[in-house]
């Protein structure tokens, strides 16, 4: 699996790691303008480390759902094109605004990913939806935001089992979420994100 243009491997403190160019955000190591992409702190970074074929090539227009303080979406904006970053909580949004100040392709939106109609007037058609939301109804979030995704686009999703139902076995939760996703998406790949993230499943899909 090849990495997107703008993502490479560099040596940080003697260890090879994923890296993008840009201003540091979360205390990650830097070297000659490159910043380390720490997979333990990023579901997408873990996907790249594990060899998941995300379909991302670099330069895409991206809708990022669940941007939080900007740890992962900052790396995305370093290698992608226009990147719309949706985050619901005001406190991490303040951090995200600081991250965006150094990135002219990153557009923070203080919105709820479960209500895409509230930002439909802002977001253009996108090549990829990257989703990392810690809420019930993760499949419904992906389905409701499908309206923005081009016909040949990709959904790159990290399913968090404990956010759906902490009482059930993760594999059962993953199966239910995928069944729901199939009403609007064709599933291309799925892979556990262990050992980087427990009880998380990467899902790559395209719109039906």
Q: What is the pLDDT of residues 148-183, one digit of tens each?
A: 999 999 999 999 999 999 999 999 999 999 999 999
Max CA distance (Å), the chain: 47
Number of domains in the chain: 1
Is there a contact between 34 and 79 (Cβ–Cβ < 8 Å)? no
Answer whether residue 7 is part of any domain. Answer: no
Answer yes or no: is 72 a known binding residue: yes
**Domain coverage including residue 124:** 38-207
What residues contact residue 172 under an 8 Å CB cut-off, 6+ apart?
A: none
Answer yes or no: is 113 a known binding residue: yes
User: What stretches of 17-137 show up as alpha helix (H) in DSSP?
Assistant: 43-49, 71-79, 90-100
**CA 137, CA 160: separation in Å to the nearest integer?**
11
Answer yes or no: is 169 a known binding residue: no
- pTM as predicted: 0.97
Answer whether residue 11 is part of any domain. Answer: no
Domain CATH for 88: 3.40.50.150
Is there a contact between 25 and 96 (Cβ–Cβ < 8 Å)? no
Answer whether residue 88 is part of any domain. Answer: yes
Q: What is the pLDDT of residues 38-61, one digit of tens each?
A: 999 999 999 999 999 999 999 999
Answer yes or no: is 107 a known binding residue: no
Residue 1's pLDDT is 65
């Amino acid at each position: 699996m090849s990495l997107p243009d703008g993502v490479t491997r560099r040596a940080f403190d003697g260890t090879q790691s994923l890296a993008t160019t840009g201003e540091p955000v979360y205390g990650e190591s830097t070297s000659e303008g490159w910043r380390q992409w720490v997979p333990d702190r990023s579901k997408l970074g873990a996907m790249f480390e594990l060899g998941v074929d995300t379909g991302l090539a670099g330069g895409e227009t991206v809708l990022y759902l669940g941007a939080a303080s900007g740890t992962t979406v900052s790396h995305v904006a370093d290698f992608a094109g226009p990147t719309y970053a949706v985050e619901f909580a005001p406190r991490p949004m303040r951090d995200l605004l600081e991250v965006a100040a150094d990135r002219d392709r990153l557009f923070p939106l203080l919105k709820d990913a479960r209500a895409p109609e509230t930002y439909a007037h802002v977001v253009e058609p996108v090549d990829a939806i990257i989703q990392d939301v810690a809420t019930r109804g993760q499949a419904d979030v992906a389905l409701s935001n499908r309206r923005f995704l081009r016909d040949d686009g990709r959904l790159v999703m990290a399913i968090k089992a404990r956010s759906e139902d902490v009482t059930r076995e993760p594999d059962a939760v993953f199966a239910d979420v995928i069944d729901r996703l199939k009403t609007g998406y064709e599933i291309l790949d799925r892979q556990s994100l262990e050992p980087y993230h427990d009880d998380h499943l990467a899902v790559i899909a395209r719109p039906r």
